[in-house]
Structures are given as structure tokens and as C-alpha cells.
Amino acid sequence: MAKIFVEAYGCSASFADSEMISGLILNGGHTLVDNSSESDLNIVVTCSVKDATANKMIHRIKSLKSKPLVVAECFSKAEKGTVEKFSENASLMGPNSLGMTLQIIDSTLNGKKLIALEDSDLSKVGLPKVRLNPVVGIVEIASGCMSECTFCQTKLSKGDLSSYRLGDIVRQVQTEIKKGVKKYG
């Protein structure tokens, strides 16, 4: 099994997704490591809201591409061509494609680029997590965006606003409380 480094940038939703990606990695039998120098594969959970953030993502992609790389979340979907320009072998995973995490990892480790930018039917609510902070729980109630701001690419990446089912949200909060969460983000 592989040693995998995961790092996240952006909003609470990106950090929540990185927690779920890490949980799926562990459930898949892989190991998480604390820095890219120890890894067999790197995953960067990206953001593309503004130009300054996009520039930071380009820098990170360039610095992590010496090993197998998965570029996940918003930047990979909104700026697919840019990601491929700076790391042509990187696999891409969209913000609503978490159900493909293990397949993308396996494909990338085997030297085959995989692009999964389409939405999967897997609900994010209830997925295993590795919390970045053991007392802070990030529980998403919706995904997407209602607006079309000129400076932001969230709608391009995540699509129209879609709320999660209330019962699923309540169960997620109850589960988080049982696991020691004291604060929600």
C-alpha cells in the first residue's frame, strides 16, 4: 500500500473534502504521511476562487509534480487546461467526484492519468474522515453556488447550489459529537 500526502487550500468545504479524501485513503489500506518528501503520491486539494489563489495552486502543482500527483477539487475542474500545462501527468478529481478517490489513486500510482471531473452519485455526508483538528467538525449542508460573481469560479467548479438531506446532516452532526467534536465550522 502507498504512502500518501494530502494538503488542502481554500474554503471550509475544501478542508472538509480533504478530511474525507484522507478517510477514504485510510479505509482503502493506504497510509497518510505528513510531508511530500515521505510520500509515494501527493494529493493537493485546490481552490480557484481568485487569481491570487490560482497562482498559489500553480506554484504547489509545480512543486509537487516530481511524484505521482492528484489535483483535486475546484482548480482541477475550473482550470483543467492550466493544471495539465504545469503537470501533464497529474490525475484530476473534481469537487463532487470523491467516490472515485481510490480508483484515481490506484490509477495514478500505476502511471496512468485518470480524469474524474464529473459529479458522482456518492453523497459526501457520512463519508469517513480524518479530522485536521480533532475538536472541530466541518459539516457541509450544501454544495455549489447561487451566484455568478465575476471574480469567482465556484459556480464553474461546484455547479448550482444543492442542499443535502436534513436527516443526513443531523446524523452527521450526531456522529461528530460522539467522536468528540466541540466546535463546528
Total number of domains constituting the chain: 1
The chain-wide mean pLDDT, for the chain, equals 89
pLDDT tens for residues 28-55?
Answer: 999 999 999 999 999 999 988 777 788 8
Q: Are 124 and 23 in contact (CB under 8 A)?
A: no
pLDDT category, 122, cuts 50, 70, 90? Answer: low
CA distance 183 to 185: 7
Task: Write phi, then psi, for 102 (nearest 5 degrees).
Answer: -70, -35
Q: Residue 167: which domain range?
A: 3-184
**Its pTM surpasses 0.85:** yes
CATH number at 134 reads 3.40.50.12160
Phi then psi dihedrals of residue 145, to 5 deg = -150, 150
**Rounded to whole angstroms, how far apart are CA atoms 155 and 17?**
17
Share of the chain above pLDDT 90, in %: 56
Indicate if the pLDDT at residue 129 is higher than 80: yes
